[in-house]
Amino acid sequence: MTKERNLYIKKLKFIFIIHMGRELYKFNQYLNESGLRATRQRGIIAKTFFEAGPHISVEELYHQVVEKDRRIGLVTVYRTLKLLRGAGLAQGRQFGDNHTRYEKTPGDSHHDHLICTRCGRILEFENDTIEGLQRKVAEEVGFAVLDHKLELYGICKECRSRGKKAGRKAPPTLS
Amino acid sequence: MTKERNLYIKKLKFIFIIHMGRELYKFNQYLNESGLRATRQRGIIAKTFFEAGPHISVEELYHQVVEKDRRIGLVTVYRTLKLLRGAGLAQGRQFGDNHTRYEKTPGDSHHDHLICTRCGRILEFENDTIEGLQRKVAEEVGFAVLDHKLELYGICKECRSRGKKAGRKAPPTLS
DNA sequence: GTGAATATGAAATTCATTTTCAATTAAATC
DNA sequence: GATTTAATTGAAAATGAATTTCATATTCAC
Ligand SMILES: [Mn+2]
Ligand SMILES: [Mn+2]
Ligand SMILES: [Zn+2]
Ligand SMILES: [Zn+2]
């Protein structure tokens, strides 16, 4: 049991350590290793983030955080998300709208996205054949691929069967 | 010879009509059909855009435009690019950096991009197999794809052979 | 040419995100 | 537990790309 973990127990009264997921623990570890401090705010924000659905926007996360602690500011949410990125625990993504969305770094494999431009729904998919072809294309021009982004924009199953009626969310604008 | 074309001749003294590409002519057509006006500014901005390299940023285009006519404002460049998009003649794209880049709508086929995060170079590629697989993936979840975006980020051939030396442009930040 | 409608550019505004800074807090050391 | 100091916080200000406003200028149908 590490020093950091003990500190957390002392501060947050045991219950917390029982429920602290691996990700939250890793975040704590990262903070310590980096000489950063494990603050109440960071704990709440990270915990909320890890328990939230995928592709949460900063604003959405902020709203959920504020429900737990009214005093936490939006700035600290931004700052903590940046730390989570630094820790390799979160990834920021920009879909069509003008809001960065965050998701937990997927355990092993990479995935891409299908975005419904009518209702905003985001589906994930994985396709190794595509990934392989991407690598091949890059190789052909001498490119060393470090990262990639594949997004399919269109109308989801639900929206299609619902016909032309308006969806639930604002549709993102494509440039 | 349409009315619009004649007007252009009258205004810009024949030379222009000779050199007016199909795209510029189409833009004129679009303006007319839409009840919009073919102004000096729009002409200069569109012509500059069509003659510029691919993936030009708004700021870059603005600089080139200002060299031809110092009085043209950045706002008008933004507005004209929006019109060109509306006419289907230009497409806006966001690569890693925080600047929208524009390119002429490609004649027929779709292409995707390889972006060097070290020097900013942007290469284009086309791969029908990937496109086909995308459609297949989408079908499987009942998604009707309207558009897609595939970007490969990495280090280009030139930057790789140049070793670890700094490149020419500012590297875009990945989220 | 005239006039109504559209376009322009400067300045103001928006909106996501970042920076600044005085006050607060974590945590190492006593 | 108290002391100390460097990191953190949140409010407010700043940033920067893109848009809107609005008074003036221009287009173009008549
Ligand atoms: Mn995802
Ligand atoms: Mn291109
Ligand atoms: Zn939908
Ligand atoms: Zn390069």
Domains and CATH numbers, chain B: 1-105 (1.10.10.10), 106-175 (3.30.1490.190)
pLDDT, averaged across chain A: 86
The model's pLDDT over B81-119, given as tens digits with 9 standing for 90+, comes to 999 999 999 999 999 889 999 999 998 888 999 999 989
User: What is the structure's pLDDT at A104?
Assistant: 97
The first and second tokens of residue B164, run together, are: 């670890």
Residue of B143, B160, B174 to mutate when probing chain A, most A C-beta within 10 A? B143
Q: Which residues of A touch B151 (CB under 8 A)?
A: 148-150
Residues with Cβ within 8 Å of residue A64, at least 6 apart in sequence = A48, A52
> Residue B151 is inside which H or E element, if any?
strand B144-155
Phi/psi at B166 (5° precision): -70, 150
Helices (H), A100-154: 128-140
Strand partners, B90: B104
Q: Does B125 touch chain A if contact means CB atoms closer than 8 Å?
A: yes
Residues with Cβ within 8 Å of residue B134, at least 6 apart in sequence = A130, A150, A152, B145, B148
Q: Which residues of A touch B93 (CB under 8 A)?
A: 175
Distance from C-alpha of A39 to C-alpha of B144, rounded to nearest angstrom: 46
Q: How remote is the CA of residue B119 from the centroid of ligand 4, in Å?
A: 4
User: What is the structure's pLDDT at B11?
Assistant: 43
Q: Which of B133, B141, B175 sits opposite A100 (nearest CB)?
A: B175
Contact: A129, B133; criterion CB under 8 Å: yes
Q: Does A86 touch chain B if contact means CB atoms closer than 8 Å?
A: no
DSSP string for residues in B62-127: HHHHHHH-TT--HHHHHHHHHHHHHTTSEEEEE-SSS-EEEEEPPSSS--EEEEETTT--EEEE--
Q: Compute the C-alpha angle A156/A157/A161, nearest 5°.
A: 120
User: What is the structure's pLDDT at B107?
Assistant: 85
Task: Work out the average pLDDT over B117-139.
Answer: 95
The first and second tokens of residue B61, run together, are: 């285009």
User: What is the structure's pLDDT at B169?
Assistant: 53
* Strand ranges for chain A from DSSP E: 56-57, 90-94, 100-104, 112-116, 122-125, 144-155
Closest-lying nucleotide for B98 based on CA to C1':
D17
Contact: B157, A138; criterion CB under 8 Å: no
Query: pLDDT band at residue A136, thresholds of 50, 70 and 90?
Result: very high
DSSP string for residues in B15-28: HHHHH--HHHHHHH
Confidence check: pLDDT of B2 > 60: no
Closest-lying nucleotide for B43 based on CA to C1':
C7
Let me know how long chain A is.
175
Q: What is the pTM of this model?
A: 0.85
Q: Let me know: does A58 contact A23? Beta carbons within 8 Å.
A: no
DSSP string for residues in A149-169: EEEEEEE-HHHHHTTTS--SS
Closest-lying nucleotide for A7 based on CA to C1':
C27
The model's pLDDT over A3-34, given as tens digits with 9 standing for 90+, comes to 334 434 444 333 344 457 889 999 999 999 99
Q: Does A141 touch chain B if contact means CB atoms closer than 8 Å?
A: yes
AA identity, residue B32:
N
Q: Does B148 touch chain A if contact means CB atoms closer than 8 Å?
A: yes
Contact: B141, A114; criterion CB under 8 Å: yes
Q: Of A55, A127, A47, nearest to A93 (Cα)? A: A55
Query: pLDDT band at residue A92, thresholds of 50, 70 and 90?
Result: very high
Q: Does A127 touch chain B if contact means CB atoms closer than 8 Å?
A: yes
Distance from C-alpha of A34 to C-alpha of A27, rounded to nearest angstrom: 11
Contact: A175, B91; criterion CB under 8 Å: yes
Burial class (CB in 10 A: 0-12, 13-18, 19+), A45: buried
Residue of B94, B130, B133, B159 to mutate when probing chain A, most A C-beta within 10 A? B130
User: What is the structure's pLDDT at A169?
Assistant: 53
Distance from C-alpha of B114 to C-alpha of B164, rounded to nearest angstrom: 20
Distance from C-alpha of B100 to C-alpha of B116, rounded to nearest angstrom: 16
Residue of A149, A159, A160 to mutate when probing chain B, most B C-beta within 10 A? A149
The model's pLDDT over B24-67, given as tens digits with 9 standing for 90+, comes to 999 999 999 999 999 999 999 999 999 999 999 999 999 999 99
Closest-lying nucleotide for A173 based on CA to C1':
D18
The first and second tokens of residue A24, run together, are: 């939250």
The first and second tokens of residue B89, run together, are: 């003649």
Q: How far is the alpha carbon of A86 from chain B, nearest alpha carbon, in Å? A: 10
User: What is the structure's pLDDT at A173?
Assistant: 52
User: What is the structure's pLDDT at B17?
Assistant: 44
Contact: A155, B141; criterion CB under 8 Å: no
